[in-house]
Structure 1
Amino acid sequence: MPEASHLTPVAVMILATLREADMHTYELVRLLKERRDDRLVPLQKGTIYHTVARLERDGLLAEVGVDRDGNRPERTTYTILDAGHRAVEEWVRAELPRIDRPGEFRVALSEAHNLGRAEVIGLLDARRARLVASVEEHHDGLSVAAERETPEQFLVELRRQSALLDAELAWQDSLRARLADRSLPWGIAEIPEHIKKKHRVSKETTA
């Protein structure tokens, strides 16, 4: 089995979706696009079909049935295997605390519900320490620039990045607070049954 770090974001999203319910590739494509996950990574049908085949070859998912609807082509239904569950969790653990891979972080954040509440809080705390260090570095840079009377037109990008980091830190602190005081429902067990049915969520996870 390949290491979780070798999985692509698309592979992680496919495996994470199969944690919710068994489904065929056509349904995977439809559900990912319905949820607008194409905001995070390109979701081309060819890429998804190729990724599903690779995940099956690597022993992370498996076929559980084939069906045909009328004259439509046969559709193979897939299920995630134990190794696939572990791969998703390991990938999220690796990417959620990082601040240097924004694309992967967005996917890890979207799949963070696959981990338990306490673990996510710990990973966010680790990320916060890195964010704070980066915020301080940018603020120090702006202070030095001000002392040197650097023309502001040369600092536009630095000021933008500093503002974005301040906003990111404030947002993350708000998310952590909601996780800590449990005002944010977390994990399959805390999703109301009628919402589970609406979104086809049926499998329990470790969260």
Structure 2
Amino acid sequence: MPKAAELTPLGVASLALLAEEPMHPYEMYQVLMARHEDRLVKVRPGTLYHAVGRLEEHGLVEATGTEREGNRPERTTYRITDDGHRALDARLQVMLSTPLNEYPVFPHAIAEAHHLPSEVVVDLMEQRLVALAADLDFLVNAEATVTAKGVDRKYWIDITYQQAMRRTEIAWIRDFLQELGTRQLPWDEPQTAPPALSHHPKESLGKRS
């Protein structure tokens, strides 16, 4: 059995679905998409089939039967094994308890933003605010949808976490823009790049007598 740390995000999502009930991979894909979990893990039908196959190789899931509907290809249903339950529990415990620096792009960009003129930074941050607001609206609507359907909150608690993260980032960017606008945050304009060196440096020294 692989170590818990070796479980990929898609592997965790697959085991979690099969812990609810046996499913075939295409059904698993449909459930993931219906729950908008493609926002949390990269998932396509092909990669999901591959992930389930790897889980089966390691004894974390097992096939329970194969069925065919009309002219469609055969579909194999899988269920989680006892080893699968243990691996899932161990991995979730690590993921929940241990902060991990996943090297997100935005903090890196902020750290290097001083290389750009302030007006460019302001424009880019305003664009980001628009995108974040649209994303937040999507998450709020998603919460309303699953609530109306009566879906148990434990299955979509991540939506409220993502809402909180978007609101926090929006508030931080607004404060940042205010500091730039009032010049509370000094912002030296970037220096222009030095002229490129000649490809023929000897020519710049003039002709020798």
Higher Rg: 2
TM-score (norm 1): 0.50
Tell which has more relative contact order, 1 or 2 (C-alpha 8 A, sep 6+): 1
